[in-house]
Amino acid sequence: MRTPVGIERVNGDRLWSALMEIGRIGETHGGGCRRLALSEEDGRARDLFCRWAREAGCTVTVDAIGNIFARRDGTQRDAPAVAIGSHLDTVPTGGKFDGVYGVMAGLEVMRRLQELGLTTRLPVELVVWTNEEGARFSPMTMGSSVFTGDIALDFALSRHDPSGVSVGEALRRIGHAGEAPVGGRQFTAYLETHVEQGPLLKESGERIGVVTGSFMARYFVATIKGQAAHVGPTLMEQRHDAMVGASALVLEIDRIGRSRGRDGRSNAPHIELFPNVRGVIPEEVRLSCDVRHPDAGEVQAMEAELREACRRIAEERGVSIELEQYFEFGPINCHQSMNELIGETADLLDLPRRDILTVASHDAVPIMEYCPTALFFIPSETGISHNEKEYSTPEHCTDGANVLLNAVLRLAS
Amino acid sequence: MRTPVGIERVNGDRLWSALMEIGRIGETHGGGCRRLALSEEDGRARDLFCRWAREAGCTVTVDAIGNIFARRDGTQRDAPAVAIGSHLDTVPTGGKFDGVYGVMAGLEVMRRLQELGLTTRLPVELVVWTNEEGARFSPMTMGSSVFTGDIALDFALSRHDPSGVSVGEALRRIGHAGEAPVGGRQFTAYLETHVEQGPLLKESGERIGVVTGSFMARYFVATIKGQAAHVGPTLMEQRHDAMVGASALVLEIDRIGRSRGRDGRSNAPHIELFPNVRGVIPEEVRLSCDVRHPDAGEVQAMEAELREACRRIAEERGVSIELEQYFEFGPINCHQSMNELIGETADLLDLPRRDILTVASHDAVPIMEYCPTALFFIPSETGISHNEKEYSTPEHCTDGANVLLNAVLRLAS
């Protein structure tokens, strides 16, 4: 293959090897990865990343929320860096690509720059953001959101996991409670590549998905209250079973998303049940749920249906239901000039591309308000993520890293 | 009030005081009790009981599963004892009467015998059975079932709570891992009084409910398997959401019990959800459920409906469901001669009585196979148990203890 003038290419084999090697940390029997944020496994992956980054000529800094910045100086030492990044943590049922692919693609960019002996005008920084998934510690995109000031540092450090360990304590245990202050680093631009977490690129055959915007997502906690009572002698007609109310609500939530076809999403993936013992009718259920759609008006309508369902189910099932919104994101419009840069870079590399929306949040989402940002996807072979079956081919991984490398060169030169 | 010849009466005020005093151990804000089996609170309640029993002239022995035997010798020292008992542990949402009432009524019998200077022919033993509720450690009626040989001691000692503490370890922590061997104590008869856990006595106005038998109850674990995937990008049509399947099943279980009117019961009070994080479609749910009815044929029919519901929901919701039975009890027929004794004793005390079935298991249920056994209820004012609102009046508590005292005197003389 002819390399067009001004186009550089990464070492795809080296990228794939790095991805597979770091994927052994927290590897599951089925070939996936369980590397919860700030766990011992996450600590080992972060340590390996730091070593690799230093070997690639970077200086490594860790801030107080554990974000890792691997920096390659430019000729203009004090100029704002071109930043790239993603995350190393996974959900409990994670795969070997979500997040870590973006970090390893960034590492390959750093390695290639070193190999080429190329000093860019602007510094280049590769960032590992702490706790993107929010699976162990809520909320998600924690490190990037603290970095941008959307979440207070103290608040984040005091969040705790189900066993009571705080973020601050977990950072200390793995030796990643850094001394650098959070925020204050200026970025010229931020680039993130990620595996697509759905089937669209695979279905339509393009190799790069340029994220032009996001779905709108609205998140709620539904608190369903019934009355604890003995499961045996309590007559069915006397009961106020919070789990029966919650179950009716889960089915309604599922229906609300399905009724919008391929643009609708609705979830009720997290449940807390009290007292959750075999002898007692459930007294209280807390159900985390969300509705998503590209169109804000549709999200409003979905929420209205959800609130009506809560009202009706409470009446029918003899329970009380309170619905409280706790988070919202989107619809986001990404930076057009940044997307044009990604699009042109893909074109130069002869990689068919399409515009795509992201349904999930990513570290790029909070960063979008902070500096010009681009987010782009490579195809998923299986169309599934947060699952051991998550898979992207070596070729597609190489494609994304090539786009990243050349976009960085354009921005930093 | 005239005391008929041969009738003795307990000190109702002393009984009520004891019940209120021990109820302060683990007392909740709403006036209930949280005293999980072998917790620090249970340990304190057990210690208090042992002190009170010794002060009432009893010798106290603890066996290897933590059952406490407070013995008052008879003139025939080696004859099988007349035993009475119940339990001190509660569910997390417990009240101040379930279990502990039977123990305090038994203690009042011992105190009254001491006060009267009465030595019976047969020994009398008051038993506190370990872990009747099964709320912290499954299975329930653990101490009484190990005593009768229905459950192996090693199996019971190795059960653990959700935080991984075993029964054996919990017994050692509170100093109640006794040295006496389990079982081998001969009983002439066993008597247990308990608060009714439903509304029937209150509704019909009788003061003693003689338990003539039990409902039949069959217990299952339903394992619902879906596919973990990202809650955002995964199209609704692609999903295999284990929680949606479980929710549909919970509603069907509720319907199956309701369709049998006042004789039907069905429950799904305990759920384990994996991975139970906000970013992942639920992969697996384990749902503990049961169906109950006085008629064994109806229980068969309810199980058949449950199995059909599992099949249909699995197909409709794109999940797999396996239903495994893990426990069964009843229908039990209680010992007629023992029930006649309770009935006659209530008549002598001018206490209106009725026959009643128990829907829940009690320590008397495993003991029923071991020796002649009687179980009888006093009314619940609120018709509810396993709830802070659980309440029986001082008068009704006195009634039950009076029946217990006089039945013991008849059996032990």
Cα separation, B106 vs B99, whole angstroms: 11
DSSP state of A95: -
Task: Outline where DSSP puts E strands in A91-229.
Answer: 124-129, 187-195, 208-214, 216-225
Average pLDDT over residues B121-148: 97
Indicate the residue of B199, B271, B359 with minimum beta-carbon distance to A276: B271
Interface A-B, measured as beta-carbon pairs within 8 A, has a size of: 238
Task: Outline where DSSP puts E strands in A28-138.
Answer: 59-62, 68-72, 81-87, 124-129
Which tens digit of pLDDT belongs to each residue from A25-68?
A: 999 999 999 999 999 999 999 999 999 999 999 999 999 999 99
For residue B331, say if its preceding peptide bond is cis, omega within 30 degrees of 0: yes
Q: Is the dihedral angle over the CA atoms A394, A396, A397, A399 positive or is it negative?
A: positive
- Is B65's pLDDT higher than 70? yes
The residue of B236, B256, B327 whose CB has the most chain A CBs within 10 angstroms, and thus the best one to mutate to test that interface, is: B236
- Is A4's pLDDT higher than 70? no
Average pLDDT over residues A161-173: 96
pLDDT of B397 reads: 98
pLDDT of B6 reads: 82
Which tens digit of pLDDT belongs to each residue from A252-282?
A: 999 999 999 999 999 999 999 999 998 999 9
The residue of B250, B290, B319 whose CB has the most chain A CBs within 10 angstroms, and thus the best one to mutate to test that interface, is: B250
Do residue A230 and residue B276 have CB atoms under 8 angstroms apart? no
Calculate what percentage of chain B has a pLDDT beyond 70: 99
Asked whether the domain spanning B216-329 has the same topology as the one spanning B12-214+331-412, the reply is: no
pLDDT of B390 reads: 96
CATH dotted code for B216-329: 3.30.70.360
Model confidence band, residue B184 (pLDDT cutoffs 50, 70, 90): confident
Residues of B in contact with A232 (CB under 8 A): 197-198, 215, 217, 265, 292, 358-361
Which tens digit of pLDDT belongs to each residue from A367-382?
A: 999 999 999 999 999 9
State whether residue A327 is helix, strand or coil. strand
Q: The tokens of A275 are what? A: 């007292």
Largest CA distance in chain A: 81
Residues of A in contact with B229 (CB under 8 A): 384-387
Do residue B292 and residue A386 have CB atoms under 8 angstroms apart? no
DSSP output for A229-254 = -BTTTS-GGG---HHHHHHHHHHHHH
Q: Where are the domains of chain A?
A: 12-214+331-412, 216-329
Q: The tokens of B174 are what? A: 């509170």
CA distance B251 to chain A (A): 6
The residue of A97, A247, A377 whose CB has the most chain B CBs within 10 angstroms, and thus the best one to mutate to test that interface, is: A247
Q: Nearest residue on chain A to B265, judged by CA atoms?
A: A236
Average pLDDT over residues B358-385: 95
- Is A2's pLDDT higher than 50? no
Q: Nearest residue on chain B to A201, judged by CA atoms?
A: B233
Indicate the residue of A243, A257, A386 with minimum beta-carbon distance to B229: A386
Indicate the residue of A98, A236, A241 with minimum beta-carbon distance to B264: A236
- Is B2's pLDDT higher than 50? no
Which tens digit of pLDDT belongs to each residue from A300-319?
A: 999 999 999 999 999 999 99
Structure pTM?
Answer: 0.91
Cβ neighbours of B369 (radius 10 Å): 11
pLDDT of B258 reads: 98
CATH (one of 3.30.429.10, 3.40.630.10, 3.40.50.970, 1.10.357.10) for A12-214+331-412? 3.40.630.10
Instruction: Report the mean per-residue pLDDT for chain B.
Output: 96
